[in-house]
Amino acid sequence: MNLKTKALVSAMGIALSGNVFAATEVEKLRADVEQLKKDVQAAGEWKEPSTIIHMSGYADVGYTSTENANDSFAVGTFAPIFHYQYRDLVMLESELDIKLKDDGSTEVVLEYLTIDLFLNDNIAFVAGKFLSPIGQFRQNLHPSWINKLPSPPPGFGHDGAAPVSEIGMQLRGGFPVGGVRSNYAVYVANGPELITEGDSPGNFELDGIDAEGKNSDIDNKKVFGGRFAILPITSLELGLSAATGKATVTSNEGTEVLGDELARDYDVLGFDFAWQQKGVTVRGEYVKTKVGDATTGVSASEGADWTTMYTQFAYKFLPSKFEAVARYTDFDSVGTSKDQKQWMLGVNYLITNSVIGKIAYEINDGETGAKADDDRLMFQLAYGF
């Protein structure tokens, strides 16, 4: 074999091996394309339609050992949240609050239902029953998978100092103020109703505020309110809330319906803050609700104040999944039996980012003999879905 033949054979060999290499690459590509076709076909059902239906929500179960009461297992809340969205224009949001009562029957409450119109990048128009924008706890922190402790701070529950929900209209959104982020909510709503206790005219006194949104406005006087918050640095949010309007007594000790009562002044003021840095979160809120006097009507009586404030500290022991939480709350109500100072200490284990096991101890200081004075040990398993 001469040199020319050797070179020719070598060249053919290289060409042949190149062809084999290319053929292998082509086969790989073919396999990839086939796989891609299958994946795209399978993913096709998730092409974005104009309407999206989505369900999320949360639920919790637990065990409570209460001083001076029987210990018990309990299902806390099952709260499905429904979203129906038309493109980026409109969203219907609704949360049901489904609870088991002590007798085993089920109670369903419409926690909120709103139709949100996204008017532009900075304003959304909200109509319906919405969580009160006063402060942070009711509108953002009450779901059990978000609340770092098994119970809400006293005064932020369903009959405390802070309003729970409203039925009306709201504008809300966010915008930058000279490089600082801010967010806001302003609303007009039917407002709350008032509850008295007493057994005869001249002997009544205010007992509570029924501050969950009502489908009627018995005094025909709306409540106006809102919240404005700024984030001077990205890790800190400072909020100021207020509401004003009229509220009227509609029931006595939660049962007797009264009529023709005088509409009283109703004013709410709140401050809140939240700061986070690495594994540390510190937050707090103050809410004061003031109801004025009524000089006429069956339930005529002096006005009253409800004040509550809490501060909460939480620390995540990264990279472990443990978190320690401490919270102090001071709730002043009109009835001394509801006044409460509370320390709550807890440890959480984050099973996943939204499934949390909690153990916490409430040290309660209230009127002797009252429920508000009983300490509690609580276990809770909360799932945000």
Partner 1 sequence: MKIQKFKNSARMINAMALGVLFMSVPVIGFASGADYPPRGDFAKGAQTWADNCGRCHNIRAANELRDDQWISTAFHMRMRAGLTGQETRDVLTFLQGSNTSVKVSTTPSSSASVSTLSGKEVYGQTCVACHGANGAGNFPGVPNLTKKSGPLSKKDDALIKNIMGGFQSPGSPMAMPAKGGNPDLNKKDIEKTVEYMRKQFVK
Q: Which of residues 77-96 bind partner 1 (CB under 8 A)?
A: 81, 83, 85, 87-89, 91, 93
Q: Which of residues 255-284 bind partner 1 (CB under 8 A)?
A: 274, 276, 278-279, 281
Residue 352 CB, nearest approach to partner 1 (Å): 8
Token pair 């089920």 is found at 106
Residue 343 CB, nearest approach to partner 1 (Å): 23
Determine, following the binding rule CB under 8 A, whether residue 244 of this chain makes contact with partner 1. Answer: no
Residue 195 CB, nearest approach to partner 1 (Å): 23
Burial annotation 325-352 (CB, 10 A radius, 16+ → b, else e):
bbbbbbbbbbbeebbbbbebebebeeee
| E-state strands within the chain | 51-66, 72-86, 90-100, 106-118, 124-131, 165-177, 180-189, 193-197, 205-210, 223-233, 236-252, 256-257, 264-277, 280-291, 304-316, 322-332, 340-350, 355-366, 376-384
Short-list 139, 381, 379, 150, CA closest to 270: 139
Determine, following the binding rule CB under 8 A, whether residue 123 of this chain makes contact with partner 1. Answer: yes
Which listed residue (122, 203, 216, 336) binds partner 1 by CB under 8 A? Answer: 122
Which listed residue (8, 9, 32, 336) binds partner 1 by CB under 8 A? Answer: 32
- What tokens appear for 227 in the block? 């919240």
- What tokens appear for 301 in the block? 């009586």
Determine, following the binding rule CB under 8 A, whether residue 311 of this chain makes contact with partner 1. Answer: no
**90-100 vs 124-131, strand pairing mode:** unpaired
Which listed residue (14, 119, 177, 363) binds partner 1 by CB under 8 A? Answer: 119
Q: Which of residues 349-368 bind partner 1 (CB under 8 A)?
A: 350, 353-354, 356
Determine, following the binding rule CB under 8 A, whether residue 216 of this chain makes contact with partner 1. Answer: no
Which listed residue (2, 50, 295, 296) binds partner 1 by CB under 8 A? Answer: 50
Which listed residue (65, 66, 94, 183) binds partner 1 by CB under 8 A? Answer: 183
Candidates 41-49, 98-106, 154-162, 294-302 — which segment interacts with partner 1 by CB under 8 A? 41-49
Residue 341 CB, nearest approach to partner 1 (Å): 26
Cβ distance 167 to 189 under 8 Å?
yes
Candidates 21-29, 71-79, 203-211, 285-293 — which segment interacts with partner 1 by CB under 8 A? 21-29
Which ranges of the chain does DSSP label H, i.e. alpha helix? Answer: 3-43
Which listed residue (79, 113, 126, 209) binds partner 1 by CB under 8 A? Answer: 126
What is the residue-wise DSSP string for 107-171? EEEEEEEEEEEE-SSS-EEEEEEEE--SSSIIIII-STTTSSSSSPPTTSSTTSSS--EEEEEEE
- Between 134 and 334, name the residue whose CB sits nearer to partner 1: 134
Residue 281 CB, nearest approach to partner 1 (Å): 8
Q: Helix or strand or coil: residue 54?
A: strand
Rounded CA separation 319/279 (Å): 10
Residue 62 CB, nearest approach to partner 1 (Å): 19
Which listed residue (64, 77, 132, 136) binds partner 1 by CB under 8 A? Answer: 136
